[in-house]
């Protein structure tokens, strides 16, 4: 198996997550018609310095991340997560995925939002499955909200409350308040 | 006499990803330059390309980082071609390749086979690059190398060959 390139060094890992952040920033700048000149003006840095950071995001500081995001009306959070890949064989999850999951979850601002989730547990929910890297199912996370994803899609955010998950047989997983079928070829491992 | 070349595949992203993989076509054919040039890139540019490979493998859509060509472009002749893009100072680097589905057991599994590297100055892609990519994408020896690299067991699982 190819070792993910972000395992080579902290600098590589830092570059990857910073590049994902810069991509999000550039998308927003484009949608709001903000060019680098305007960004420089908003932040109070020279255009040259802005350009330098955008070209080589690996050295961006947390302070500048906050400055950049706030200058164009965005917020930023640092998210630590366990995606059942302690060896980092798959690399970090793209920050845009966290953003999409958060948006699809109704953009919760606090933990009270999850209390509301448990009260509406009869809503259809979606089972996110981990990638089948080793041919087995080794993680299942689920959410009471979100966009339906096909089986095998990377599941990264577990925002649901604890709901029992059990395997009835190789092709079906029964989850409290719902039943989700998994294609047989994906359901080869223990759950 | 037609010159014979040897072809092989080298992975750059993990071939165990369930959806996609990026690989290099390697050969003694001088037109195949992607891997040689990639290996010589400055570290920042190399990281930019790797982040783009990851984004494509993860299913992200971003035409500034990578894209293919649809039926409306070049008469629809290059719909299998693909490019990863990266700006390095004032130079626009490009890694051109083609897309294909190498697994019999999973015809949705997609790979991008990177073939050649180029600097690009004009906005529009020079069709010459795409013609070359298209030629390689149908070359039997190339297809055989891809098939061999993504060889599967009878149960549909891919075989991981030891690296040499």
Chain B residues 67-126 within an 8 A CB cutoff of chain A = 87
CB B22 within 8 A of CB B65: no
Q: What is the pLDDT of residues B91-110, one digit of tens each?
A: 899 999 999 999 989 999 99
| CB-based burial, B104-130: b 16+ in 10 Å, e otherwise | eebeebbbbbbbbbbebeeeebeeebb
Nearest residue, CB atoms, A1 vs list B64, B87, B160: B160
Q: Chain B: give the shortest CA distance to residue A118, in Å.
A: 31
From A26, A56, A152, residue closest to B18, measured CB to CB: A152
- Chain A, window 139-158: residues with a beta carbon less than 8 angstroms from a chain B beta carbon: 152, 154
Looking at per-residue pLDDT, the higher value among A139 and B143 belongs to B143
- pTM of the predicted protein model: 0.76
Three-state secondary-structure class, residue B148: helix
Q: What is the mean pLDDT of chain B?
A: 90
Q: Which residues of B23-51 are buried (b: 16+ CB within 10 A; e: fewer)?
A: bbbbbebeebbbbeebeebeebbbbbbbb
Q: Which domains does chain A have, with CATH numbers?
A: 5-71 (1.10.260), 95-186 (no CATH)
Nearest to A5 among B16, B50, B60 (CB): B50
- Answer whether A19 sits within 8 Å of B12, measured CB to CB: no
ipTM: 0.86
Distance CA B12, CA B57 (A): 11
Q: Which chain B positions have a beta carbon within 8 Å of A150's beta carbon? A: none
Contacts of A1 in chain B (CB under 8 A): 14-16, 160
Q: For residue range A157-183, what is the model confidence (pLDDT) as tens digits?
A: 232 332 333 333 333 333 433 434 343
Q: What is the DSSP string of B18-63?
A: SSEEEEEEEES-TT--HHHHHHTS-HHHHHHHHHHHHHHHTT---T
- Report residue B66 CA to chain centroid gap: 11
Give, for A16, the enclosing helix (H) or strand (E). helix A10-31
């Amino acid at each position: 198996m190819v070792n993910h390139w972000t395992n080579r060094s902290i600098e590589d890992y830092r570059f990857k997550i910073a590049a994902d952040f810069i991509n999000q920033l550039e998308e927003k700048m484009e949608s709001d018609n903000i060019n680098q000149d305007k960004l420089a003006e908003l932040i109070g840095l020279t255009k040259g310095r802005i350009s330098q950071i955008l070209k080589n995001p690996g050295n961006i500081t947390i302070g500048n991340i906050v400055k950049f995001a706030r200058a164009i009306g965005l917020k930023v959070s640092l998210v630590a997560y366990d995606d059942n890949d302690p060896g980092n064989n798959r690399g970090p999850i793209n920050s845009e995925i966290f953003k999409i999951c958060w948006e699809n979850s109704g953009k919760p601002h606090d933990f009270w939002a999850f209390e509301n989730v448990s009260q509406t547990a009869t809503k259809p929910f979606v089972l996110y499955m981990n990638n089948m890297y080793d041919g087995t199912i080794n993680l299942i996370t689920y959410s009471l909200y979100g966009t339906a994803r096909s089986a095998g899609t990377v599941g990264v955010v577990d925002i649901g409350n604890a709901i029992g998950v059990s395997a009835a047989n190789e092709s079906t997983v029964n989850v409290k308040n719902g039943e989700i079928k998994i294609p047989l070829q994906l359901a080869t491992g223990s759950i | 006499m037609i010159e014979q070349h040897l072809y092989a595949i080298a992975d750059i992203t993990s071939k165990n990803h369930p959806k996609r993989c990026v690989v290099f076509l390697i050969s003694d054919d001088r037109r195949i330059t992607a891997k040689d040039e990639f290996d010589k890139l400055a570290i920042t540019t190399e990281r930019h390309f790797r982040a783009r490979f990851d984004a494509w493998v993860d299913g992200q859509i971003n035409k500034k980082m990578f894209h293919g060509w649809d039926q409306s472009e070049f008469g629809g002749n290059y719909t299998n071609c693909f490019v990863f893009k990266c700006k390095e100072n004032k130079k626009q680097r490009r890694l051109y390749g083609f897309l294909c589905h190498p697994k019999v057991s999973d015809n949705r599994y997609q790979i991008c086979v990177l073939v050649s590297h180029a600097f690009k100055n004009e906005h529009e892609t020079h069709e010459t690059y795409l013609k070359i990519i298209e030629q390689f994408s149908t070359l039997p020896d190339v297809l055989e190398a891809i098939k061999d690299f993504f060889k599967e067991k009878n149960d549909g699982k891919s075989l991981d060959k030891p690296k040499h």
